[in-house]
Amino acid sequence: MRISIGSDHAGTALKDEVKMVLMERDNLEVKDVGTFGNEPVDYPDIAEKVANEVASGRSQFGILICGTGIGVSIAANKIHGIRCALCSDVFSAKMARKHNDANILALGARVIGFGLAGEIVRAWLDNEFEGVGRHQRRIDKLTEIESKN
């Protein structure tokens, strides 16, 4: 499985930590789209890169990080086919996969610490979409909203 990861300047340290968590797994290929270093960049540019990787199918999942996680999640959700969930707790990360089939996880580097971020990423990876019945119907409705707008 391939995962794309990206952050703005506020998220580079957490991005490196999250990459270590991803490296715990042998079946993962990680594509880091940047940014690297502390030079300020605009979060929509990074979010668009990761979202395009996922929407095109080149990566199955994405992880986006900015200061709050809000900017990157708003930007990623502008791309058709993206369901980006901003999570600051383990329960939400689990439900974002099980009920919402979130294909991008957003994290706020100025909101949560490294330890919690790692647990959130593990919970998100370890859970699968319960893709039958009401949950699938609701995802289909999200796709319908995209096609109408």
Q: Which stretch binds ligand RB5 (CB under 6 A): 61-69, 86-94, 118-126, 138-146?
A: 61-69
CA–CA gap between residue 59 and residue 135 (Å, rounded):
23
**Is the Cβ of residue 3 or residue 86 nearer to ligand RB5 in the bound state?**
86
Burial class (CB in 10 A: 0-12, 13-18, 19+), 114: middle
Q: Which helix (H) or strand (E) holds 85?
A: strand 84-86
Q: Please state the closest distance from residue 71 (CB atom) to ligand RB5, in A.
A: 3
**Is the Cβ of residue 113 or residue 131 nearer to ligand RB5 in the bound state?**
113
The answer to whether residue 10 forms part of the interface with ligand RB5 (CB under 6 A) is yes
Residue from 8, 48, 53, 101 binding ligand RB5 (CB under 6 A): 8
Say which residue the tokens 């593990």 belong to. 122
CA–CA gap between residue 37 and residue 1 (Å, rounded):
27
The answer to whether residue 12 forms part of the interface with ligand RB5 (CB under 6 A) is no
The answer to whether residue 48 forms part of the interface with ligand RB5 (CB under 6 A) is no
Token couple for 53: 């990787």
Q: Please state the closest distance from residue 70 (CB atom) to ligand RB5, in A.
A: 4
The answer to whether residue 59 forms part of the interface with ligand RB5 (CB under 6 A) is no
With beta carbons less than 8 A apart as the criterion, state whether 104 and 50 touch. yes
φ, ψ at 66 (rounded to 5°)? -140, -165
The answer to whether residue 71 forms part of the interface with ligand RB5 (CB under 6 A) is yes
- Interacting residues with ligand RB5 (CB under 6 A): 8, 10, 43, 66-68, 70-71
